[in-house]
Amino acid sequence: MKYLTDYLEFETQQKRELVRLTDTVAQLVRKSTVKEGMVLVSAMHITAGVFVNDNEPGLFDDIWSWLEHLAPQKSDYHHHQTGEDNGDAHLKSLLVHHQVIVPITRGQLDLGPWQQIFYAEFDGQRRKRVIVKVMGD
């Protein structure tokens, strides 16, 4: 079994932001030389998530609206009693989840025709990290 672990580091420019990771993850899969296996892509922050979906701006607007409807930015979260102001970002992270596992087949990400990997930031404007762990033969 082969393994490759890498950490993606970047700075988000906005409080809420999507970062497309597909090409970077695919490059790491190639670097690993794994032909059959899987790759884990996981946000290393509790106010962020990772998901697979279509790379389409109208869908992004729908996702942000849906998340805001389910976990609106407001001032009365219990979490805010600790001095924080990002309770909604923690809840949005739970809805999106913090990681995905993508299959690797014949040395390539085995995604559907429209699927892309995204990092979703819900409380940004600072340095962020994502762990990418490739595993397989």
Which CATH number do you get for residue 20? 2.60.120.460
User: Is residue 79 one of the residues assigned to a domain?
Assistant: no
- Determine the structural domain holding residue 6 and report its residue range: 2-73+85-136
User: Is residue 113 one of the residues assigned to a domain?
Assistant: yes
Q: How many domains does the chain have?
A: 1
Give mean pLDDT in consecutive 10-residue pieces for the chain, a chain of 137 residues.
97 95 98 98 97 97 98 95 94 97 98 97 95 98
HSE at residue 123, side-chain half, CA atoms within 13 A, is 18
User: Is residue 78 one of the residues assigned to a domain?
Assistant: no
User: Is residue 80 one of the residues assigned to a domain?
Assistant: no
User: Is residue 107 one of the residues assigned to a domain?
Assistant: yes
* Cβ–Cβ < 8 Å for 132, 5: yes
Which phi-psi region, left, alpha or beta, contains residue 136 (left: φ > 0; alpha: ψ -120 to 50)?
Answer: left
Q: What is the pLDDT of residue 118?
A: 98
* Cβ–Cβ < 8 Å for 34, 135: yes
Burial code (b: 16+ CB inside 10 Å, e: under 16) for 14-28 equals: eebbbbebbebbbeb
User: Is residue 66 one of the residues assigned to a domain?
Assistant: yes
CA–CA gap between residue 57 and residue 94 (Å, rounded): 22
Q: Fill in the amino acid letter for 71.
A: A
Evaluate if pTM is beyond 0.85. Answer: yes
Report how many helices (DSSP H) and strands (DSSP E) the chain contains, helices first: 3, 8
User: Is residue 35 one of the residues assigned to a domain?
Assistant: yes
